[in-house]
Amino acid sequence: MANDDLLAERFERVRPRLRAVAYRMLGSLTEADDAVQEAWLRLQRTDDREIGNLAAWLTTVVGRVCLDMLRSRTQRREEPLDLDAEPPADAADPEQQAMLADSVGLALLVVLDTLAPTERLAFVLHDLFAVSFDEIAVMVGRSPAAARQLASRARRRIQAATDTPDTPDTDAPRKRAIVDAFLTASRGGDMAGLLELLDPDVVLRADLAAARLGSAGETRGAEVVARFFAGRAQAAVPALIDGVPAAVVLRENRVFIALTFIVTAGRIAAIESIADPDDLAALDITYLPR
């Protein structure tokens, strides 16, 4: 019984994140709660000693449950979007609340509802929750490169739907300013500046090609990531990748490494280093002036 209580306690600590993920995926508070409850039931039927990272495991389960619900919704051609619903109010700390308000407005939910289920899952989990494409690939049954393309297509559709004179994109300039400040601090070896820009739990992920060039496969924590980038980025230039502020490292006028950023609550929550030639070729890159 004690073990059951401990498992329930661990689950409750993750519940706000799971509910936020499900709400962004489904646009319905009722269905979000159903998806989270299904994750709990599946956890109860699983030997938790075999689960290395409970939060990641539960996020994967919720993602798969939501994907099934979206596919079922499409087949039934239902529209359960809660147009009058507020985002989950129990989403924990102020940064989570700010992130929720920043990225889960009604307009975004309406646009998300037009995406294919796999596109919606890839965009929500990667762009809003910094889940890696390796993990997303498992959920959708495709390669990491294909998962990246799903998110890119979703991102372009969202930008096309919201880029109108009546709805100016004030988010992109803010993100570009943060990325530009990061590059400046990195070039100058400004540890204090980097730490100010990085979320305390920031994650740096590198694909296999980037890892062979000296990057760790995955690095977590603001201090470790700041130390890695301090004094670097000398050859990095600002860019838009799939329409989102990013950076690229050039070698002989060709893109050698691409750096994409996920910004939440005014700080960088995730950085992805891409060096695989096939993945680089699939990116839509526009260079920006320094």
Mean pLDDT of the residues in the chain = 80
Nearest to 139 by CA among 58, 258, 248: 58
- What is the identity of the amino acid at 153? R
Q: Please give the structure tokens belonging to residue 75.
A: 């087949």
Burial label for 275, CB within 10 Å (0-12, 13-18, 19+), is buried
Residue whose token pair is 């496969």: 217
Question: What is residue 157's predicted lDDT score, i.e. its pLDDT?
Answer: 77
Question: What is residue 107's predicted lDDT score, i.e. its pLDDT?
Answer: 58
208-267 per-position pLDDT tens digit: 888 777 666 678 899 999 999 999 888 899 998 877 889 999 888 888 899 989 887 788
Q: What are the C-alpha distances in Å from 202 to residues 33, 127, 129?
A: 28, 14, 11
CA angle (82, 84, 88) in 5-degree steps:
70
CA 115 to chain centroid: 17
Is pLDDT at 84 greater than 80 in this prediction?
no
21-80 per-position pLDDT tens digit: 998 888 888 889 999 999 999 999 888 788 888 998 999 999 999 999 988 876 654 444
Question: What is residue 95's predicted lDDT score, i.e. its pLDDT?
Answer: 43
- Report, in angstroms and rounded to the nearest whole number, the Rg of the chain calculated over CA atoms: 19
3-state helix, strand, coil in the chain (%, to 5): 60, 15, 25
Name, of 6-10, 72-76, 176-180, 208-212, the range with top average pLDDT.
Answer: 176-180
Q: Please give the structure tokens belonging to residue 245.
A: 């502020």
Instruction: Quote the percentage of the chain above a pLDDT of 90.
Output: 28
Q: What are the C-alpha distances in Å from 216 to residues 206, 209, 230, 245?
A: 7, 11, 15, 23
Q: How far apart are CA 218 and CA 211, in angstroms?
A: 9
Nearest to 38 by CA among 54, 62, 16: 62
Q: Global pTM?
A: 0.61
Is pLDDT at 3 greater than 80 in this prediction?
no
Helix (H, G, I), strand (E, B) or coil at 179: helix
Element of type H or E holding 93: none
Is pLDDT at 201 greater than 80 in this prediction?
yes
Nearest to 32 by CA among 9, 66, 78: 66
Nearest to 238 by CA among 185, 287, 168: 287
Checking phi first, is residue 120 left (phi over 0); if not, alpha (psi -120 to 50) or beta? Answer: alpha
- Which of 12-26, 56-70, 145-159 shows the lowest mean pLDDT across its residues? 145-159
